[in-house]
């Protein structure tokens, strides 16, 4: 599965053409992963909504100053010393009052998909987490 970015101006780039560290994250309209079957899992940064195959997921993203998050989780076989991707993750981090909110869609190799919503109070350090299964 590869990531793609659609900018506000309509241009699209992919993981195959640029390193994520060099992406102009302030101008991203949509960020998504696309698998070999054409399924699309992403986030619309303008609307602050997640989507699967252009169907919006009803998760309310709270906060201001959204920051795009993207990473892959890998596992390593001890016997073969090979890293295998076990999940793809995309989301957004926002700020509201004295709290950091993170919303991350996790797409696992086995087809399990869920969103993890995390809220951390910056004063007390208290963290609350909610996991919402999608598939």
Structural domain that includes position 43: 2-133
List the structure tokens of 115.
Answer: 């969103």
Q: Indicate whether this model's pTM tops 0.95.
A: no
Residue 2: predicted pLDDT: 87
Residue 111's pLDDT band (boundaries 50, 70, 90)?
confident
- Give per-residue pLDDT as tens, 16-65: 887 777 778 888 999 999 999 999 999 999 999 999 998 999 888 888 88
Sign of CA dihedral 87, 1, 118, 20: positive
User: How far is the CA of 65 from the CAs of 55, 73, 89, 107, 116, in angstroms?
Assistant: 24, 25, 20, 25, 19
* pLDDT score for 80: 64
pLDDT in tens, 55-93: 999 888 888 889 988 888 887 666 666 668 889 999 999
């Amino acid at each position: 599965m590869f990531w793609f970015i659609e900018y506000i101006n309509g241009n699209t780039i992919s993981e195959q053409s640029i390193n994520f560290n060099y992406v102009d994250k302030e101008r991203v309209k949509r960020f998504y992963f696309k698998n070999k079957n054409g399924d699309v899992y992403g986030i619309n940064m303008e609307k602050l909504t997640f989507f699967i195959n252009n169907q919006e997921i009803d998760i309310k993203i709270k906060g201001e100053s959204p920051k795009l998050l993207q990473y892959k989780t890998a596992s390593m076989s001890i016997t073969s010393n090979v890293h295998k991707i076990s999940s793809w993750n995309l989301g957004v981090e926002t700020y509201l009052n004295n709290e950091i909110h993170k919303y991350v869609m996790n797409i696992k190799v086995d087809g399990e998909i869920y969103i993890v919503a995390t809220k951390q109070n910056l004063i007390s350090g208290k963290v609350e987490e909610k996991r919402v299964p999608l598939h």
